[in-house]
A and B are shown apart, each in its own frame.
Chain A
Amino acid sequence: MDALRPPEAPREEQDVVLGPPPPVRRIVVDGTPTVVAPPAANGHSAPLAPGAIGLAAPVRRPQPSPGPKVERMRTESVTISYGEKVAVDGVSLPVRQGEVLALIGPSGCGKTTLLRSLNRLVEITPTAARAGRITLDGEDIDRMEVTALRRRVSMVFQQPNPFPMSVFDNVAYALREQGSRRPGKEALYNHVGDALVRAGLWDEVGATLDHPALRLSGGQQQRLCIARALAARPEVLLLDEPCSALDPRSTQVIEELILKLREEVAVVIVTHNMQQALRIADHVGFMYLGELVEYGPAEQVFGSPREERTREYVGGAFG
């Protein structure tokens, strides 16, 4: 038998229609795997345009942000190599405030490297070299002082990594200037509280700001890291697979948070979870072997990809 039997029709009418049945993949020997999208259930609009592929369940798409879309950053033919190995190859992308840009692609495709080039964190790797131009509000980031750049382009990592200090001090960390003249707690209190509110953590930790941050749960720690990144009021927020170490509930909280944050900061998220990209991204960049294969609105990249490689990836064929 060269094809799987589709699942039988539900024996009885269910009260709650969860969505269309899962797609059926026809396994064809010596052929490109294709996935047939299930027909949309009655009364439910299909989550994507006809021809959508690779989705096991309908995904709730975010409403577009009502605010204006402002371009904050732009990469122009950015190429990054580690020694001989080219990790990012001639990528040009806009990063806009008011929307979430998701970078997807298989492991080792250069998406994290590209993300880390936006705040010049790649420079830490001794063998890394970069060509091409990256601008922040029209200004070349290579001409900016690196500490000033990183205050404006903040970052959250894959693993929650609060510092070994109190919740308050973690958030205040970026606000405290280096040197002897350091603002007191009172001066910082409003900023810290504001950042915690924006990161949706205030209700949980507002009363215990002096507790050690490392005692929080994983999801709270990651939101604390987001609050810490937001404290200095950055213009761009970089997220490197921020939910991959978290449980589904914490993931949902953070995704809702990201959608809220895109109004005030430009958000770039690296994710290997295509469902997540579809849930939160306005624009998607698909990278493969260092190349930006396809860039476009999420509906288009997932619904009707122009490139064969994109189609195969979002169809779950590789990666």
Chain B
Amino acid sequence: MEAATVPAPPTSPRDSVSSWPLRDRVGYYACWAAGLTLIAVAGAIVLYMAFRGAQYFDLGMFVESPNAALDQSQSGGFRDPLIGTALLLVLSTAIAAPLGVTIAVWLTEYGRPSGLARTVESAVEVVAGTPSIVLAMFGLVFFQQQWISFLTFSSEGSNVVLGRSFIAAAAMMSLIALPLVVGATREALNAIPGHVREASYALGKTKAATIRRVLLPAARPGIGTGTALGMGRVAGDTAIVVVLLGAVMQINNGAGGSVFGLFRGLGSTLTSYVYYNSPAGEGLAPEKAYFAAFVLLLLVIVLNFVVTRIARGREQPWTR
């Protein structure tokens, strides 16, 4: 057999870790330790929350509204916070996704004048770096202006503008998601080779038609990834909910029973529910807080799973 005639490669003395210099060995084991520690931490969080969540598992929690009661058996479930989270996700995504895609398209496909493009890039970075509590404070000041009072909650017969509503919270939440949408979309657009754009121009198409019919469909996985990442961040934020949504126990419809009234209303999300029910807040229903936290964790894990799935079908079909 031919394979037998091939001599085995000589073993290098460096093949065994124990023979490495001390410095290399320390670095090698540090890498292992770092990876294993992270696995341990992530595993501990998920397992602990799963354990506590399962302990207080109660399907009724999903359909009962929370109540103000010292007795835990009377304090209800987290129906309203769940609806609040969903509503905030929908509203903020509806703002962040189109805005983010538009900004990314302008930056990658036009970007002139370049000074303006650089300023827009910096602005996106500033928004990305702003802590959500700062966004919340700014949002409160902004939405307390009289001329946009129709967007926020007001109690009947009162002229006081509280500056709080689902709309106000979603507007500020969208700023959290926006940089992620912009970043992922730009990356996807930049990954499309120039000759694909040129192929469209060479067929007598304008730049606008090329963007709409070729580039955006090709960038769809990137847009999806950025949007799902942004939704994960929105679902997990607390500061904006507490400041701009009121974090009230039950959804408080702003003006009558209309959908717009709901948008003007106050509410809470799973994050604020967990906060107020855990020992960190008022601590009246820690078991329910654990279960809600587990549901929230699952939601974010599912969103991240969606991101991975989208990204997997994302290899570039074209060569450069």
A228 lies within 8 A of B203 (CB): yes
Q: How far is the CA of A173 from the CA of B205 in the complex (A)?
A: 9
B199 lies within 8 A of A225 (CB): yes
A161 lies within 8 A of B202 (CB): no
Instruction: Choose, from B38-46, B117-125, B212-220, the stretch at the interface.
Output: B212-220
- Kindly state whether residue A151 has any CB partner on chain B within 8 Å: yes
Partner of B195, one of A119, A157, A228, A238: A157
- Kindly state whether residue A289 has any CB partner on chain B within 8 Å: no
Q: How far is the CA of A160 from the CA of B206 in the complex (A)?
A: 21
A159 lies within 8 A of B203 (CB): no
Rounded to whole Å, the gap between the CB of A179 and the closest CB of chain B is 9
A147 lies within 8 A of B206 (CB): yes
Residues of chain B in range 185-218 having any CB-CB distance to chain A below 8 Å: 193, 195-196, 198-206, 208-209, 213-214, 217-218
A161 lies within 8 A of B195 (CB): yes
A158 lies within 8 A of B317 (CB): no
Residue numbers in A under 8 Å from B214 (CB-CB): 163-164
Digit string of A115-131 for contact with B (CB within 8 Å is 1, else 0)? 00001010010000000
Residues of chain A in range 151-187 having any CB-CB distance to chain B below 8 Å: 151, 154-155, 157-161, 163-165, 173-174, 178
A150 lies within 8 A of B318 (CB): no
- Kindly state whether residue A229 has any CB partner on chain B within 8 Å: yes
List the A residue with the shortest CB-CB distance to B216.
A164
- 8 A–B pairs (Cβ distance < 8 Å), ordered by A: A121-B202, A155-B199, A157-B198, A159-B318, A165-B217, A173-B203, A228-B203, A229-B203
Partner of A150, one of B195, B203, B208, B217: B203
List the A residue with the shortest CB-CB distance to B318.
A161
Residues of chain A in range 123-155 having any CB-CB distance to chain B below 8 Å: 124, 146-151, 154-155
Residue numbers in A under 8 Å from B208 (CB-CB): 178
B196 lies within 8 A of A161 (CB): yes
Interface centre among A161, A174, A245 (most CB of B within 10 A): A161
The 8 closest A-B pairs by CB, nearest first: A151-B204, A155-B202, A150-B204, A174-B203, A214-B317, A147-B204, A164-B218, A161-B196
Residue numbers in A under 8 Å from B217 (CB-CB): 163-165
